[in-house]
């Protein structure tokens, strides 16, 4: 499908003007108009003081409203059946954290094919109703951040190493997750074209890319040249204003990047760097095939993901996604929206993101490739960039975690020339104004606030203001005293509890390295002996919590050690490559499914 000259012209316009003129902006305005009264009504319902109950109120019994008798009169015969009913929104539940790359698969990486459906079948058997994944964006391949779904947030110095060249946009999908077998079913590949299976215990992203990229591109090209219903769906995908508003920028960015192969867009020729119309038109004419294949690959990812998402819904399983708060500098996000970020006149970051010294690093974590937002400029634009990003997340997931939520209240700002994160300072974030704008535009959003680390009172108040659950991690609970917020007796109902996250060691690995005093605290608190399996003991402790949601990493279900750890924060190598053991199939995990289901039944999480 060819991209028109008008598309390039629209992309070349300054962001604020193009937003005001675009179909997306018109739809956004209508959404604001339609939803404002709903949000107003919700606010009144939520915050207005509740009137005292009187005897003329009505009670619901068997879906029929009846007047109560006068004081002292007999109540109806079925009065004892008027039992309190739980709000379905307060349902206790549990889920599993497992990123799709960790599935077994024939070509060295998990994908959105058969094994993903088997996992959902198994998950339903356990009684779990949540599947948490990591970000689905294209992973780091070239920027010393091999395979990271958080691409930009771990590269230490953008002056030396760029965030990966494949991270086109925070809204794009990871095409390495596309199932080749599903492409055969769609008639876009022939069975005899499939490569020989690769037996790999860990993901080697470069090897996987060499195997899968050419075949996915071939399938995309065949889709473009085809006729029929699938081609019509592809064209509808490209015309969807909520998709095209970011997809076209990402396609142009990828085409320029592939042509020039520089460290970052900062080094591009000035006409391309600043999106001059004539330069973009020249790129379109010279890279038309590349751009169209890029669009088709994103459609194929979307098609397979939404098919899997719909299967999860049919199974009664919600998918919880993950959204990094920041985006990488070398991305269409920044290149196409420079005024939304704190950049100097030449386009170089003035300040970059990170966190002060913490448990993972004595000098803090410097996310040098992630420029900070210009929150004042975003507010003048009614936070449209964020609204578009939230809408995309809502399309992909049923709910999603926002990583580093505390940055919306107060964020750590480090001068771009600094070598260590400790050289930064705290600055005021957008706070309520951002979420008020989001609520006006899209209504209620189901988010989880990652509120770990240095959490001040303003972060807590902002989280409560928007009604988002926070997080607790049991592995953090046993190194101090009884006031530790991660201990089960301090949990809140509106909270998501983990045994550990993707940034933690596995529970088995954690147990093997903690000090004896901390081990004693664990044994005493859980009332177990050291001979019992710590992974399932900690899982049970999480499930007993008053918190509404419990998430368990798949590694803990399998009782795996440190070799199965997904990520070590503040490190760049050897992460994100864990896969389910080759000897493990979901059919063979029936005992674990039954054991977990029994636990969920005991603690009211089915």
Catalytic machinery residues: 403, 450, 503
Beta strands at 130-132 and 318-324: parallel, antiparallel or unpaired = parallel
How far, in Å, CA of 444 to CA of 467, rounded? 10
Which is nearest to 458 in space by CA: 481, 487, 497, 426? 426
How far, in Å, CA of 372 to CA of 350, rounded? 8
The CA angle 144-150-155, to the nearest 5 degrees, is 35
Provide the token pair at 209.
């890319």
Is residue 119 a contact partner of residue 126, using CB atoms and an 8 Å limit? no
**C-alpha atoms less than 13 angstroms from C-alpha of 198 in its C-beta half-sphere:** 18
Beta strands at 425-428 and 495-498: parallel, antiparallel or unpaired = unpaired
Gap between the terminal Cα atoms of the chain: 47
Question: What backbone torsions phi and psi does residue 593 show, to the nearest 5 degrees?
Answer: -65, -45
Which is nearest to 433 in space by CA: 405, 401, 409, 450? 409
Using CA atoms of 560, 566, 569, 572 in order, give the dihedral in degrees to the nearest 10.
130
Query: Given strand 447-449, what is the order of strands in its sheet?
Result: 447-449, 399-403, 318-324, 130-132, 93-97, 549-553, 495-498, 470-473
Interior/surface letters 85-123, b for 16+ CB within 10 angstroms, e for the rest? eeeeeeebbbbbbbbbbbbbbbbbbbbbbebbbbbbebb
Residue 523, H or E segment: helix 516-526
List Cα–Cα distances, 244 to 197, 225, 236, 418, in angstroms.
Answer: 36, 20, 10, 37
DSSP state of 343: B
Which residues, listed in sequence order, are joined to residue 454 by a DSSP beta bridge? Answer: none
How far, in Å, CA of 457 to CA of 470, rounded? 13
Provide the token pair at 327.
């985006």
Which is nearest to 47 in space by CA: 366, 464, 423, 589? 464
Using CA atoms of 277, 281, 282, 288 in order, give the dihedral in degrees to the nearest 10.
150
What is the CB neighbour count within 10 angstroms for residue 376?
Answer: 10
List Cα–Cα distances, 357 to 154, 286, 354, 363, 421, in angstroms.
Answer: 15, 48, 10, 5, 7
DSSP helix/strand/coil, 109: coil
Query: CA-based diameter of the chain, in Å?
Result: 87
**C-alpha atoms less than 13 angstroms from C-alpha of 258 in its C-beta half-sphere:** 17
Which is nearest to 422 in space by CA: 377, 376, 470, 365? 365
């Amino acid at each position: 499908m060819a991209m028109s000259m008008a598309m390039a012209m629209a992309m070349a316009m300054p962001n604020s003007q193009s937003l005001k003129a675009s179909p997306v902006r018109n739809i956004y305005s209508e959404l604001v108009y339609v939803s404002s009264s709903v949000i107003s009504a919700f606010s009144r319902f939520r915050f207005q003081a509740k009137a005292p109950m009187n005897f003329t109120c009505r009670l619901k019994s068997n879906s029929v409203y009846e007047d109560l008798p006068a004081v002292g009169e007999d109540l109806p015969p079925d009065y004892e059946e008027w039992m309190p009913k739980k709000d379905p929104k307060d349902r206790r539940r549990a889920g599993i954290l497992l990123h799709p790359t960790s599935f077994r698969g024939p070509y060295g990486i998990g994908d959105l094919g058969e094994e993903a459906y088997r996992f959902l079948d198994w998950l339903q058997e356990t009684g779990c109703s949540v599947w948490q994944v990591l970000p689905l964006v294209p992973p780091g391949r070239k920027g010393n951040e091999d395979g990271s779904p958080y691409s930009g947030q771990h590269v230490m110095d953008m002056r030396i190493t760029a965030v990966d060249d494949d991270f086109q946009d925070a809204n794009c999908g990871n095409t390495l997750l596309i199932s080749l077998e599903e492409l055969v079913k769609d008639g876009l590949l022939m069975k005899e074209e499939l490569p020989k299976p690769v037996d790999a215990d860990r993901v080697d992203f470069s090897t996987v890319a060499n195997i899968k990229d050419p075949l996915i591109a071939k399938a995309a090209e065949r889709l473009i040249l085809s006729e029929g219903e699938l081609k019509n769906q592809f064209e509808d995908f490209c015309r969807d204003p909520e998709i095209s508003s970011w997809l076209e920028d990402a396609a142009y960015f990828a085409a320029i990047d592939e042509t020039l192969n520089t460290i970052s867009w900062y080094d591009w020729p000035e006409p391309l760097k600043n999106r001059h119309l004539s330069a973009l038109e020249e790129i379109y004419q010279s890279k038309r095939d590349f751009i169209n294949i890029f669009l088709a690959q994103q459609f194929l990812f979307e098609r397979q993901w939404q098919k899997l998402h719909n299967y999860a819904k049919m199974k009664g399983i919600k998918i919880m996604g993950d959204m990094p708060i920041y985006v990488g500098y070398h991305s269409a996000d920044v290149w196409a929206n420079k005024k939304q970020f704190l950049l100097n006149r030449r386009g170089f970051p003035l300040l970059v993101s990170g966190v002060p010294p913490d448990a993972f690093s004595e000098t803090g974590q410097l996310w040098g490739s992630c420029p900070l937002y210009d929150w004042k400029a975003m507010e003048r634009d009614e936070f449209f960039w964020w609204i578009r990003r939230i809408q995309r997340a809502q399309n992909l997931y049923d709910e999603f975690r926002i990583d580093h939520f505390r940055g919306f209240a107060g964020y750590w700002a480090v001068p771009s020339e600094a070598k260590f994160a400790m050289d930064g300072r705290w600055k005021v974030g957008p706070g309520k104004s951002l979420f008020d704008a989001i609520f006006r535009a899209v209504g209620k959003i189901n988010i989880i606030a990652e509120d770990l680390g240095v959490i001040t009172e303003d972060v807590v108040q902002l989280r409560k203001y928007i009604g988002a659950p926070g997080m607790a991690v049991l592995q953090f609970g046993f190194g101090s005293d009884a006031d530790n917020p991660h201990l089960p007796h301090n949990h809140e109902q509106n909270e998501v509890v983990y045994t550990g996250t993707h940034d933690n060691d596995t529970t088995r690995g954690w147990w093997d390295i903690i000090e004896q005093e901390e081990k004693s605290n664990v044994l005493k608190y859980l009332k177990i002996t050291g001979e019992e399996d710590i992974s399932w003991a900690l899982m049970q402790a999480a499930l007993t919590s008053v918190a509404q949601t419990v998430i368990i990493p798949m590694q803990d279900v399998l009782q795996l050690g440190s070799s199965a750890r997904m990520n070590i924060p503040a490190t760049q190598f050897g992460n994100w490559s864990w896969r389910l053991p080759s000897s493990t199939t979901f059919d063979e995990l029936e005992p674990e499914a039954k054991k977990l289901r029994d636990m969920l039944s005991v603690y009211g999480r089915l």
